[in-house]
Structure 1
């Protein structure tokens, strides 16, 4: 049975991408971050986590948006490098004043050297999120594995640079550089091509919707700790983080899975049908249910060991907190499929609707009911987003028929 499944290329590619991201995240979450915490102390580490969240919001929004736009465009015509490289290059220049602005507004205590290194890291991270399109375009997921393995090894090498120069950015910069350099040497997305102004205009219009959508999603995705901190205090933040930890861990697998899905959909010329879409949604719900059971079982063992003092406080929220996380990333998988069949602007519409529901429901419920209200409100809003994505695709299918 296992040999039969392994013969299917989709499962091989899913294996390589998940393995790549698992190794990458293990190095980052269980080696690099704990090292920074031990070395710099709680307060300084907190400042670094804030700066990293800024990089993640900006780099993911721009890098992944350009990446996904190229994947979708490749399903209709041959894409060229010029407009993508020009766009990210210009954006990278504007990151520099943004870094100075962030330092001044939030009083991060960065000097000129710190801000400059922070800017370099932000640029490299953006290029890194874009660069894996090289492997997705060609369905080369073994290359994808090597790419993220090199980034992880670069992070480990960066620890030694940190010990020499005492600049935390130098831990991450070597990994980002190694990944990009690998693509530069082995791939074709950085080779010079002629700029087509007509294609550039089409690209800019499409990617603007995706970036706006991603920015809003990333800001909301990181806002839970701010809302709980504001209305319920730091203890509530800790309890919800611990209660949802297994769900967040499972969610890491959705990123490589989305990469494989969009890669295959970009090559497919088959139109979506009602029957096909319902089967996909039912499969997604089944996998989400399986993941929820795994999260609840794992939470009762792992959280008890890692956080024995907070276990009894977090346990009542295991189901609702993990279900909220699983619903969120399940919807992300469906939204990735949706991206192949509808215009990019619909991604923005879905995100705006999600944020409106988030602001209208989550904030007032948290204010009135605290942590428990937040947990159920965020689950309800995530379920609403799931339904919205489902209905948008159904509408597209019926409009295509008529």
Structure 2
């Protein structure tokens, strides 16, 4: 149910809303894609980090009965997310614009939502996740109508996340927790900081393609690259919630479940192989229908970008085991190494081979991340989680 719930807004946004938006603002579509990458980068970094730390530490706080800490961290995270997004929006838009304010508001709302939905994960309440994502999907469609009338594309995302956040606030109580500090605040803040840095390094590479291609090659190349990676990104976004589901169940384990890990890895590998083949079969006809203005050029890169996306899916599936059973500092080490290799591989191949070299560099970097993640699980020392 969780995968289905997550698939719904992604499919509505990527297969219905965005192609229609692109048909109206083709010349500005590359900038739109870049700004969406900006707010997704920072809201995912801050919101998802607090979400995961809260999930991992929930039982400890519950046993002690000393709630607090997370409210203050969440508020600061929302403010930081907005500040970073507004700063980069000003850079890409060459100064102040109405987009600056709207992107700041949007990033604050999305970061808050990303944290608060941990309440559903704690309770394994997948029905509520489905309802929330159905509301998010409806909000996207409402925003599409508002965009069609006004020409302001940010309304697509604002409408979706405002309606979603209203439902989250009405159906959870996390936002009512006191703004106070416990004796474990420093420990919790350190965990959030480690995971935020790790998530930023990892997510920066996920979205760096669009953030770097825009100043290097311009908006049109961003549009081509976005279309080439569409199916792969959708697969990655749909499977990402599996990370949360696995982590939710692993929260109950006190020792590494090696047999379960091997089964998860094998199943994930089969899913990725099947998904890659299915994507290759349907890419041209579907992309030709959704983005006829970009499909011919985009198809040259689809084989490489889709492979990258499915390797990322495999990393997403196995990473919760490292997140749960190993020190949080490992997340930062893996992501730091990942970033260093990314810079060398992508720019080293970009200059002789152009956009194709950039795509191959991303693929090689993701293969290294998968190898390192597997090495850590099988060779590194675990946490004491008893």
With the length of structure 2 as denominator, give the TM-score of the two structures.
0.86
> Which residue in 1 is equivalent to 2:73?
87
- 1:173 — aligned with what? 158
- Asked if 1:320 is matched to 2:300, the reply is no
Rg: which structure is higher? 1
- Partner of 1:246, secondary structure, is helix
1:183 corresponds to which residue?
A: 168
Q: How does 1:148-159 map to 2 (within 5 A)?
A: 148-159=133-144
Deviation at 1:127, TM superposition (A): 0.9
Q: How does 1:133-148 map to 2 (within 5 A)?
A: 133-148=118-133
**1:11-59 CA-partner distances (Å, limit 9, x unpaired):** xxxxx222222221223223433444344x2344443333322211111
Q: Work out the CA distance in 1 between the residues paired with 2:173 and 2:293.
A: 52
- Cα separation, partners in 2 of 1:297 and 1:64, compared to 1, 3 Å: same
Q: Look up the match of 2:372.
A: 388
Alignment of 1:211 with 2:196, yes or no, is yes
1:119 to 1:290, Cα distance in 2 relative to 1, 3 A: same
What are the within-5 Å matches in structure 2 for residues 239-388 of structure 1? 240-266=225-251, 268-299=252-283, 301-303=285-287, 317-388=301-372
Aligned to 1:7: none
Give the C-alpha shift of residue 317 in structure 1: 4.7
Instruction: Find the residue that maps to 1:253 and give its secondary structure.
Output: helix
Residues 93 and 366 of structure 1, relative CA distance in 2, 3 Å threshold: closer
* Cα deviations by residue, 1:281-328 (Å, 9 ceiling, x for unpaired): 233222222222222222254346556787666556544332211001
- Would you say the 8 A contact 1:162–1:171 is kept in 2? yes
Q: Which residue of 2 aligns with 1:9?
A: none
In the alignment, is the contact (CA less than 8 A) between 2:81 and 2:111 conserved in 1?
no
Aligned to 1:197: 182
| Length, aligned pairs only | 382
Tell whether the 8 Å contact from 1:246 to 1:299 is kept in structure 2 after alignment. Answer: yes
* Whole-angstrom distance in 1 between the partners of 2:28 and 2:217: 24
Query: Which is further off, 230-239 or 133-142?
Result: 230-239
**What does residue 18 of structure 2 align with?**
33
Select between 133-142 and 374-383 the one with higher mean Cα deviation: 374-383
Report the equivalent of 2:108. Answer: 123
SS in 2 for 1:271: coil
Distance 2:288 2:358 in 1: 23
Residues 309-318 or 166-175, more deviating: 309-318
Structure 1 gap segments, 5+ residues each: 1-15
Q: Could you list the per-position Cα deviations for residues 350-396 of structure 1 after superposition, in whole angstroms to 9, with x for gaps in the alignment?
A: 00011111112221122123344334332222111111001111124
Deviates more, 1:142-151 or 1:223-232: 223-232
Partners of 1:309 and 1:227 in 2: how far apart?
22
Query: Against the structure 1 CA distance between its residues 42 and 309, is the aligned structure 2 distance closer, same or farther, given a 3 Å change threshold?
Result: closer
